[in-house]
Amino acid sequence: MLEELQEIYLESLGRRPTIDEVRYMIELSLKVNGPGLFHELQTSSANHEDVLVRKNKTIKYSAGDVVAFKIDEKLYGFARLIKKVELGYVSEVYSETAASPSEGLSVINKIKKFPVILDTFSLLEMGEGEWCVVGNAKGENDEKVDGLTFVFGTAPYDLKSIDVHENEQKISENDSIGLPPYEQMGDEDVKELFEDD
């Protein structure tokens, strides 16, 4: 497994993974998939500081940060990180686009999609796509996040709800209707939101 991971890193990033990156991937995999694979699995809940490390430069990111992402050669989109969960950050993606990332705070107004879970590890720490932090702001969905519930599993046999505090419970297929999926969005997933614009 580690040899395959090393090959992936060398092919896509031109370097080997750091021990912290490997540790993070293992911990995340155990938290997401472990309970279904192992009996009475206890996972660490230590809060790791979110850090973007790219080209020997360290930039912190946190709740409230507005991030810009490149949609194509001439267009950037924007999203705002709201609350950290195991898979990344519950976020909102804005409808507005701009020619430059620096325009983000002045143009964002209308929400295109909420809630989404952005895979901040891949997007901001591993460098998938072109993403950067352009500022920090409060938003209308800050108060709504604590009441959010997502759905994951396979219908109709193994559906569960999970809230932003990681509380899980089995639910019926009917109870799952209307709940957003508990899944990460990567660079291509977010760009697809803008394909019909």
The total domain count for the chain is 3
Domain identity same for 112 and 42: no
Domain identity same for 103 and 193: yes
Q: What is the mean pLDDT of residues 71-75?
A: 93
Residue 94 or residue 53, greater confidence: 94
Domain identity same for 53 and 88: yes
Domain identity same for 2 and 29: yes
Host domain of residue 13? 1-48
Domain identity same for 76 and 170: no
Using a pLDDT cut of 90, give the percent of the chain over it: 48
| CA terminus-to-terminus distance, the chain | 41
Q: Of 64, 26, 58, 22, nearest to 43 (Cα)? A: 26
Domain identity same for 15 and 71: no
Domain identity same for 72 and 109: yes
Domain identity same for 39 and 54: no
Q: Of 125, 131, 57, 128, nearest to 93 (Cα)? A: 131
Q: Of 52, 48, 51, 105, nearest to 79 (Cα)? A: 105
88-104 residue pLDDT tens:
999 999 999 999 998 88
Domain identity same for 98 and 126: yes
Say if residue 55 is exposed, middle or buried (CB neighbours under 10 Å; 0-12, 13-18, 19+): exposed
Domain identity same for 119 and 152: no
Q: DSSP per residue over 54-99, as a string?
A: ETTEEEE--TTEEEEEEEETTEEEEEEEEEEETTEEEEEEES--BS
